A and B are shown apart, each in its own frame.
Chain A
Amino acid sequence: MNRLSWLHAWLMLLPALAMLLAFTHIPTLTTLWHSLFFPARGSEAAEFAGLDNYRMMLEDDVFWQALSNNLWYALGTVPTSIALALVMALWVNSRISGRTALRLAYFTPTMLPMIAVANIWLFFYTPEIGLFNKLLALFGHPGINWLGDPDWALPSLMLMTVWKEAGFFMIFYLAALQTLSRDIYDAAALEGAGRWYTFRRLTLPLLMPTTLFVLVNAILNAFKLVDHLFILTKGGPNNASNLLLYYIYENAFSFFDSNYAATLTAVMLLMLILLALLQFGVLERRIHYR
């Protein structure tokens, strides 16, 4: 009986496991394997490189720049979009007229495809004819070469990312807010707790499971969402807005160096695993699940 239920459990897991193996775990292992070879030339077999690709990476200035850009990018987009999402969720959760329209409005950026949106933002950012500089001109500012100035290219990407992501995270917060019971709020009101106190001591802790989920997603997205780079900056000018995944793409598909791309992928994967461990390990303990 025991043995049968054991078999049963494995059979139930099998389909998902097979999919994960085929599309996640085996490709991951092949990537690691590929990162140990030099690129094959023509029909010759690839030559074993050992750790040479990793050594090359350590000397690669563009890699370091992409990495540091990526950390700034994460730092710039993750807290901002989460905070914004929470504010928006609280706002559209309150009893105001036109609530549905407002929710829809906040969610719209999420529904639009990234590439299409980037094509529109490209024109927003264009110095001479773009929306942003027209707005600045109202205040007598001469305007900024948003995507063409190395100091502004990355912040410009961040701005669009926050705009795109906040609405998505808002949905999760909104769903969580609606599951919170009125009773505890009534109790808090009876005790005479102020609005800020209620938010800080009740709402925020109760939302922590959602925050963890959103945080994990936001950090992952900061590393894996590069669609807009293809349209907006292509990593330029002079790598000022190059991000790790985009650099991996460049290596794999512009430089035909899938082995070096595999090397970079391995490093990125390692980083993401560490980040995930950190998040689950540290934050999970401080979260109260009901």
Chain B
Amino acid sequence: MLHKGKHLLAVGLTSLAATAAQAKTELTMYYPVSVGGPLTQVVDGMIDQFEQQNPDIDVNAIYAGNYNDARMKALAALKSGQPAQLSVMFSIDVHELKDLDAIVPFDEVVQTAEERQWLDSFYPALMENGKVEGTTWGIPFQRSTIVMYYNKDAFRDAGLNPEQPPQNWDELAEMGQKLVKTDADGQVQRWGAMIPSTGYPYWMFGALAKQNGEVLMNSAGNETYFNKPAVVEALQYWSDLGSQYRVMPQGTIEWGTLRQNFLEQKTAIMWHSTGNLTAVKKNADFDFGVAMLPARKQFGSPTGGGNFYLFKKSTDEERRAALKLVRFMTSPEQAASWSIATGYMGVSPASYDTEALQEYVQTFPPAAVARDQLEYATAELATHQAGRVRKLLDDAIQSVLNGQAEPQAALDAAQQQAKRILSRY
């Protein structure tokens, strides 16, 4: 009898819980993954934790392919009237999302002083792509910079000090030449360095330009500086690494297979996203190191990766819930475990103060390189009509690396066309 009563009670409670569930705030969020590794599981794990802590919020996190796909799916969902309250999208989509009137700034959603403070808790370099004229539109989540991965065994093999990776452009060319290994027939067995030039050539180029003391655009996103002398010089250097110093194969270098090239020791140095760190660590069967990109006038790399955005088409309640989710996902503890699982950066100084990340950095110092490089980092190329403008620069870079055009002419043309496109903004 008692058992039966208990059972009834249990049933009653379950149905009560079910009614409560109907009052839940439902959030739909799209997110991209553009580097290797089972990252969707990591995100799902974080979402589960969040839901346990916030039983009144139900999160539907949808993996949506790469950055382009994620943006497309989120925008298509919005257009078709399906709800999506927040998404992780490319940090450089900010101007276009604004132009499309799709997003709301975080400043409009935060209420308390504490929340306003939270907006300032991230690394300033990571906020450069998220803030437009003082308003915060994006909160950093899966963020990276470019770092230099190098094969210490190859350095030893070439008679170089494995603890002293190239610090500047001249050293990169010099050491690169020593690192090139050819067989008896003169065929290259191992290249000195590789900088990928498909997929995101403008991103790699942003690093070279910054190292030469120049940025590619203004923060309002309506001016580009593609043909400034220092920028042209940067492209000349990139092209010279292949055609003159011969430390890099000529022609474009595929982004997607570069990591494999590095792991199979076909190149001693690669420039790649920090997002690959964990995958390289797991798969490298040689001694490797990670260093900041070499300097010319200064160190430099653009940041990269995805930010959280809040969509405009949402109720106040949903926005508050979405803010809660964003705060959870970017909290120091979550950022730390996300960073360890992926190689992406901890997004706030506080995340590097957590025990977990401190311990990780101690046992695996390469994890700190991206953070240290943040001091010299700049925004990733982001403008209005970003897709078009980016393609102009990408095409110019590829035409130079393929020997179809000279840096000055190619960048002049790209600049001129970009100027025309941006004249409306």
Residues on A facing B (Cβ under 8 Å):
41-43, 122-123, 126-129, 137, 140, 142-143, 145, 147-150, 231, 233-234, 236-239, 250, 253-257
The answer for the CA separation of A257 and B421 in the assembled complex, in Å, is: 12
Q: A147 and B254 in contact (CB under 8 A), knowing A236-B394, A238-B398, A256-B96?
A: yes
Stretch with Cβ within 8 A of A (4 or more), from B138-146, B368-376, B384-392: B384-392
The answer for the CA separation of A234 and B256 in the assembled complex, in Å, is: 11
A231, closest chain B residue (CB): B256
Partner of B264, one of A41, A128, A143, A231: A128
Stretch with Cβ within 8 A of A (4 or more), from B164-172, B245-253, B342-350: B245-253
A236 B96 Cβ-Cβ under 8 A: no
- Chain B 337-383 interface residues, beta-carbon cutoff 8 Å to A: none
A-B contact pairs, 16 of them (CB 8 A): A42-B100, A123-B260, A126-B254, A127-B249, A128-B191, A128-B261, A128-B266, A140-B185, A143-B187, A148-B197, A148-B251, A149-B402, A234-B199, A236-B398, A237-B402, A255-B387
Q: Give B4 Cβ to nearest chain A Cβ, in Å.
A: 55
A148 B198 Cβ-Cβ under 8 A: yes
Q: Which residues of B contact A150 (CB under 8 A)?
A: 402, 404
The answer for the CA separation of A53 and B266 in the assembled complex, in Å, is: 47
- The 6 A-B pairs of least Cβ separation, nearest first, read A254-B387, A128-B266, A148-B252, A42-B101, A148-B251, A237-B398
B49 at the interface (CB under 8 A from A): no
Interface string of B383-416 (1 = CB under 8 A from A): 0010110010011101101101000000000000
Q: Which residues of B contact A129 (CB under 8 A)?
A: 257, 260-261, 264, 266
Q: Give A6 Cβ to nearest chain B Cβ, in Å.
A: 39
Q: Give A145 Cβ to nearest chain B Cβ, in Å.
A: 4
Residues on B facing A (Cβ under 8 Å):
68, 72, 96, 99-101, 185, 187, 191, 197-199, 249-254, 256-257, 260-261, 264, 266-267, 385, 387-388, 391, 394-396, 398-399, 401-402, 404
Partner of B252, one of A128, A137, A143, A236: A236
Partner of B267, one of A128, A137, A147, A255: A128
Q: Which residues of A contact B391 (CB under 8 A)?
A: 250, 254-255
Partner of A236, one of B198, B257, B260, B388: B198
Q: Which residues of B contact A147 (CB under 8 A)?
A: 198, 252, 254
B255, closest chain A residue (CB): A234
Q: Give B189 Cβ to nearest chain A Cβ, in Å.
A: 9
Interface of A is mostly: loop
Q: Other CB < 8 Å A-B pairs besides A123-B257, A126-B257, 6 of them?
A: A41-B99, A126-B254, A128-B267, A148-B197, A253-B72, A255-B385
Q: Which residues of B contact A137 (CB under 8 A)?
A: 187
A122 B256 Cβ-Cβ under 8 A: yes
B257 A237 Cβ-Cβ under 8 A: no
The answer for the CA separation of A33 and B50 in the assembled complex, in Å, is: 46
How many residue pairs at the A-B interface have CB separations less than 8 Å? 89
The answer for the CA separation of A137 and B266 in the assembled complex, in Å, is: 15
B257 A142 Cβ-Cβ under 8 A: no
B252, closest chain A residue (CB): A148
Q: Give A114 Cβ to nearest chain B Cβ, in Å.
A: 15
Q: A238 and B387 in contact (CB under 8 A), knowing A127-B249, A128-B191?
A: no
The answer for the CA separation of A42 and B199 in the assembled complex, in Å, is: 28
Q: Which residues of B contact A250 (CB under 8 A)?
A: 387, 391
Q: Which residues of A contact B401 (CB under 8 A)?
A: 237
Q: Give A122 Cβ to nearest chain B Cβ, in Å.
A: 6
A128, closest chain B residue (CB): B266
Q: Which residues of A contact B261 (CB under 8 A)?
A: 126, 128-129
Q: Give B222 Cβ to nearest chain A Cβ, in Å.
A: 14
Q: Give A245 Cβ to nearest chain B Cβ, in Å.
A: 16
A145 B250 Cβ-Cβ under 8 A: yes
Q: Give B314 Cβ to nearest chain A Cβ, in Å.
A: 16
Partner of A237, one of B198, B249, B264, B388: B198
Q: Which residues of B contact A127 (CB under 8 A)?
A: 249
The answer for the CA separation of A43 and B254 in the assembled complex, in Å, is: 39
B99 A122 Cβ-Cβ under 8 A: no
B252 A145 Cβ-Cβ under 8 A: yes
A129, closest chain B residue (CB): B264
Q: Give A186 Cβ to nearest chain B Cβ, in Å.
A: 56
Q: Which residues of B contact A143 (CB under 8 A)?
A: 187
The answer for the CA separation of A195 and B394 in the assembled complex, in Å, is: 55
The answer for the CA separation of A257 and B385 in the assembled complex, in Å, is: 9
A44, closest chain B residue (CB): B101
A145 B399 Cβ-Cβ under 8 A: no
B102, closest chain A residue (CB): A42
Q: Give B14 Cβ to nearest chain A Cβ, in Å.
A: 43
The answer for the CA separation of A238 and B394 in the assembled complex, in Å, is: 7
Q: Which residues of A contact B266 (CB under 8 A)?
A: 128-129
Q: Which residues of B contact A149 (CB under 8 A)?
A: 251, 402
The answer for the CA separation of A150 and B400 in the assembled complex, in Å, is: 11
B264, closest chain A residue (CB): A129
Q: Give B29 Cβ to nearest chain A Cβ, in Å.
A: 20
The answer for the CA separation of A143 and B385 in the assembled complex, in Å, is: 39
Residue of A142, A233, A256 with highest tally of chain B CB at under 10 A: A256
Q: Which residues of A contact B101 (CB under 8 A)?
A: 42-43
Q: Which residues of A contact B191 (CB under 8 A)?
A: 128
A239 B100 Cβ-Cβ under 8 A: no
